[in-house]
Chain A
Amino acid sequence: MIFPAAGYNSALVITTATLLGVVCAVAGSFLFYRRRVMIVDAISHGSLPGIGAGFLFAYALGLDGGRNLPILLSAAALSGLLCAGCVQLLSRHTRLDENTCIGVALSGTYGLGVVLLSLIQSLPGGNRAGLDHFLLGQIAGLTLSDAALIAGIALLTLAVCLLFYKEFQCLCFDPDYAQSSGFSVRVLDFLLISATVLIVCAGLKAAGAILIVALLVIPPASAAFWVSRLPGQLILSAVFGGSGAIVGAALSSEYADIPTGSAIVLMQAIPFLFGLLFSPDRGLPRYIRKRSRL
């Protein structure tokens, strides 16, 4: 039912979304244990001025009326990385805690992005239709070359995560040990953030700047209800992320007015809710046991 004799486009959309779901869940797991998932929110909002600037750049060069996905995504990645850099700079050198720094960076850059979009709107022949998809996410009309680009970025991110598996593991669970055994925590953090920036930019068009953070935080949090070792965590959260993405993308390509990003997020939230209510060691049952013992 959900899998119709899917049209070519549905098959493309579902495959891309699934890959994104899996890779976001894997990268998100490392951030989750590093306890800084919300930096994803700063990166995704911070990529918005990049989208605007990329559009203006491509528009000035006369490429596809400005809507050239490779240029848009590389500009988005650059400005997302800059935004994460601002968070890092503020939280390292001022007294503000990291969450406040994230809030400052995301609202400032998001504001700049909105200003750039309003500038684009007033260009002769400029029209931000299509750029709005980067905010709320819609991949129904994905073309093969766009899909290949997104899939390529996702696979690259996955490769980075698996290649630096041991280093990231050390960074997440014992940063002091990582530092003392010769790794630079700063460099590893930078690597992890860069991998995150890559996957966030790849996912922007599908999930949108506001919802992409869900793809990186919900599956790892759902998996953490059931497992406590990293390999199991990675596998389970990839399963949760991937299956939520398959069902969500399939629903959205079956019923035209269901937006892809929202459907995927809601499908991924189901295992979280299940874990919250039923996980014996980290969910509601633990809390009830604790209360009754008191």
Chain B
Amino acid sequence: MPPFPDDPTLFWSIDFPALLTGTLAAVSCALPGCLLVFRKDALMADAMSHVVLPGLVFAFLLTGTIAAWAMFAGALAACLLAAALIALIRLVTPLEGGAVMGIVFTSFFAGGVLLLETAAGQRVHLDTNHALYGALELSYWDEPGNWAALPHSIKILALTLSLTLAALAAFYKEIRLTCFDFTYAHSAGLRPRMIVSGILALAALNAVAAFEAVGSILVIAMFICPAAAARLWTDKYGLSLFLSAAFGALSAGLGYALAAWFPLRLGFDFALNAGGMIAFCSGMIVFVSALCTNAESAYKIFRKKETAS
């Protein structure tokens, strides 16, 4: 079996849609992720990607269909509900933020799995493996060249990405001030609480759209890793957004190439899970960034070990 790149029709019908889905999902998650990392709220991405599953199950039980709109609405509602609940518990109790997120998302997730296995289990066509590992490889372009026939998930991702870009452009200054100096934003009359809610809503929208296409693992990775890498390289707000989008796209391309083509090039006849490989690549990008931007301190650790031995 020849490697895919050598065969143009296979490339356009299998690899191109997968690459496009991965890149769009990566960029559209990296942008709100950047804001979450600025606000030191990165684990919100972890929480949101896990509450999508219960949202899907609940929407199915409520409407009885697995139509795309019902699934989307259910997942979005679950994300917003979880975010609101987390904010509420943090307001009411003195508990630490991370602990509150851990409590809320695990309870939601446990409820979702329970519903899935008991009430809905027999009838619903919801594959937990698919939801957790992602199914980037399943996107398929029937008629290469006909843009209207592109997979549904790509269109949704393109739509949410443009919405995200529009929102970021429209509230550019407001969001920047809220992320960097909440108190000042408040005293300047900007209503930072509303803006934070807006950021979380934007994050939820992108998480749900990306989850549908690539699964929970990639959502967490693309929210946090590109933004963390960008945070290491620069202090500037605009540049951070740009860099995290770029790192997201880079890890999507690199990860897909390593998962889908690399084993074939080596002569094996299987492909690895692309979503997982993209997530791993994004983690490695952070690690390499940390080494490059902290060369001095990395050198010190190395020296200390050398002198100690």
- Write the residues of chain A forming the contact surface with B, with a CB cutoff of 8 angstroms: 32, 35-38, 40-41, 86, 90, 93-97, 99-115, 117-119, 122, 132, 135-136, 210-211, 213-214, 217-218, 221, 224-225, 255, 257-259, 261-263, 265-266, 269, 272, 276, 282-284, 286-287
Contact = CB atoms under 8 A, between A and B. Distances in A.
A114 B134 CA distance: 10
Contact of A37 (B98, B117, B272): B98
Contacts of A95: 231-232
B106 A38 contact: no
A100 B110 contact: no
A108 B106 contact: no
A258 B114 contact: yes
A101 B225 CA distance: 9
Contact of A90 (B50, B280, B284, B290): B290
Contacts of B301: 93
B217 A111 contact: yes
B61 interface: no
**Chain A at the B interface: SS class:** helix
B42 interface: yes
Contacts of B273: 114-115, 117-118
Contact of A272 (B37, B103, B290): B103
18 contacts: A35-B99, A37-B96, A94-B294, A100-B40, A104-B286, A108-B287, A110-B276, A111-B277, A118-B271, A211-B109, A261-B110, A265-B106, A265-B107, A265-B110, A266-B107, A269-B110, A283-B92, A287-B93
A286 B287 CA distance: 44
B17 interface: no
Contact of A100 (B37, B277, B294): B37
A111 B280 contact: yes
Contacts of B99: 32, 35, 37-38, 217, 221
B112 to A, nearest CB: 8
Contacts of A41: 43, 46, 102
B298 interface: yes
